[in-house]
Each structure stands twice: as C-alpha cells, then as structure tokens.
Structure 1
C-alpha cells in the first residue's frame, strides 16, 4: 500500500508540474490563491468582533493607537448596552 501512495503522490507532482509549466495556468492558480487568502483574511477579521470597517480592523492588527481606542470604545459601548 505504501508504494501505491508514493506512486500516486509522484503522479500528482508530475501532473501539477506539467500544468504549471504554462504561464497562463500559473497566473490562474496565483489569482485563485490570492482570492482565497483575501477571503480568509476578511473572514478572520470580521469573525473576531473587530470594527466592521476592514481598514480600521487592519489598523488595529498593525497596532495603530487611534483604532485601538476606537475599538475599545465600541467594546465598552456594546458591553454597556448589554448590561
């Protein structure tokens, strides 16, 4: 069974190499990967409960003090509203 898995893996590597040998295919794959990464990043930021504005959320990730204060104020307001 181990030889079979190695053979299938090797075949996959060869097929991937052949597919990516064309410039247009590399561009397609790179574009799709960028879309996936961007979507994951946006979902990650939104699901953490950070400000709804993505630019503000990114600034919070980078450590900008203005956005951190804004984020903290939003958190305090939401806690006060829930109490």
Structure 2
C-alpha cells in the first residue's frame, strides 16, 4: 500500500507541476482542487468501488481515509507554493 500511495502522490505532483509551471494562479487553482475536491472523490472511490469489489469494508475505508488525508496535505502544499511564489506572466 505504501508504494501505491507514493506512486499516487508522485503522479499527482508531477501532473500538477507539468500543468502549473511557474504561474502562481495555476498552482493556487490546483491546490484548491486537490485539497478540497479530490479527497472526497478518493474516499468515495474507496468506499463505493474498491471496498465491495475486494470485500473489505472497514479496511477499504481506512485506506481511503489515509489516501484522502495525504491528498489533502498535498493540496495544502500546492496552495502554499502558489501563494508564496512570484507570479510570472
């Protein structure tokens, strides 16, 4: 699970960095989406799709909560980068 989580975060960071570049407003938008939208989607995917498919209710919810928490922390990091970087237009 740790390797899947690390791969998920690495892919998320790489895609946001490729999209945002050096523009602060894109980092801020990506941070808001990652911090306040993706954790709910990740939790719903784990609870409604992966949990019944695998057959582990409480285990899938715990892993989903862990993924959602890490996604929230990553999104807050994106917001920090966006608000502290100098915008280059």
Under TM normalisation by the shorter chain, which class is it?
A: 0.3 to 0.5
TM value normalised by structure 1: 0.33
Q: Which has the larger radius of gyration?
A: 1
With a CA cutoff of 8 Å and minimum separation of 6, indicate the structure with the bigger relative contact order. Answer: 2
